[in-house]
Structure 1
Amino acid sequence: MTRASQADKTLLAASDGQEEEARQILTFRLGGTVCAVDVRHVREVLDFTKIAPIPSAPANLIGIIDVRGTGVPVVDLKRKLRMIGGENETTSETRIVVLEIGPDTTRKVIAIVADAVHEVVEYDGETMEEPPQFGESWDASFMHGLGRREREFLTFLDIDAVFCGDRHLLADTLAA
């Protein structure tokens, strides 16, 4: 991961005299979308490695990897979020992001595949825009909002909502 670029410092809001704690986020790419998760969920970022498939696994579960002697499930986040394109294509930039999700007392470890991992930057929640409204009903519970990274929109994922809400991996498994 690299240090924050000058353009990414635009994620920090101008202070109006009130001190507000900036949070750190990990930015990464899924297909054509730049996403961010709070670093408190990120355990580590790994180079892409072979993922062992699991028989009869739900479509979102790619397989399992070994992380320091522990089997960690790898979820296809693009499929889980119903993103189109680029599935199962790996490049030299492809990374596996190991995440901790859920309440502090029952945290679970999962991994996702990112097409590229950009950097860790600080952001101030005041610069975040609400999810867009466009006249149709859609479930935006998977995201905190939108920001900007250089000239691209940045989707702030609510990773707990993605995996611990109605879209929970266990629920997907039972439905498959």
Structure 2
Amino acid sequence: MTSETDVLEFSLGEDRYCIDIAHVDEIVDATEDVTPIPNADANVVGVVDLRGETTTVVDPRVRLGIKGSPDGSRIVVLSEHESTGLLVDDVHEVESVDPDEIDDSAASETTRGVVRRDDRFVVWVDPDALV
């Protein structure tokens, strides 16, 4: 028996991505100033103070090989990675995904596959591979 998984859809540029909602702790506006960290990995944008806790902000574009600058407006804070958030352009909705909707032939080091929606594809990313 297969069960559906709830995923959070977000966008990077023109494209849609999703992660399992179980990996999401919270979503916050990226209004805080991000402090750059010298000599950090290319995917690390910097750190922000979220309610007194230092949170590392990473740009998923780097690991996904997407061109463009990190001008995201939202931070998706991950639950399994202590104080780490993904900088995304926009957060859309939580959707249920049936395992039959996943095309895992497109899976890679950073993705679980592609979810087919009515008029678009949503790339299911592995948060562990992005941080």
Secondary structure of 1:40's match? Answer: helix
Give the CA deviation at 1:149.
Answer: 3.4
> Is 1:28 aligned to residue 10 of structure 2?
yes
Please point out which of 86, 101, 109 is paired with 1:127: 101
Alignment partners' CA distance in 1, 2:88 and 2:47: 15
Give the CA deviation at 1:53.
Answer: 1.2
The 3 A distance-change label for structure 1 pair 150 and 67 is farther
Please point out which of 154, 169, 174 is paired with 2:122: 154
> Is 1:78 aligned to residue 46 of structure 2?
no
**C-alpha deviations, 1:148-172, integer Å up to 9, x for none?**
2341110011212x14xxxxx5xxx
Q: Which has the higher strand share?
A: 2
Residue 89 of structure 1 corresponds to which residue in structure 2? Answer: 71
Alignment partners' CA distance in 2, 1:131 and 1:31: 23
Alignment partners' CA distance in 2, 1:54 and 1:42: 24
Matches within 5 A, 1:25-104: 25-49=7-31, 50-85=33-68, 87-90=69-72, 94-101=73-80
Normalised by the length of structure 2, the TM-score is 0.88
The 3 A distance-change label for structure 1 pair 144 and 88 is closer
- The two structures, once aligned, show a CA RMSD in angstroms of 1.8
Tell whether the 8 Å contact from 1:131 to 1:143 is kept in structure 2 after alignment.
no
The 3 A distance-change label for structure 1 pair 141 and 58 is closer
Please point out which of 109, 112, 115 is paired with 2:83: 109
Give the CA deviation at 1:110.
Answer: 0.9
Secondary structure of 1:79's match? Answer: helix
Secondary structure of 2:100's match? Answer: helix
Which consecutive residues of structure 2, in runs of 5 or more, have no partner in the other structure? none
Normalised by the length of structure 1, the TM-score is 0.67
Secondary structure of 1:43's match? Answer: strand
| Runs of 4+ residues over 3 Å off in structure 1 | none
| Equivalent residue pairs, number | 130
Q: Percent identity?
A: 32
Give the number of the structure whose alpha-carbon radius of gyration is greater: 1
Alignment partners' CA distance in 2, 1:123 and 1:23: 5
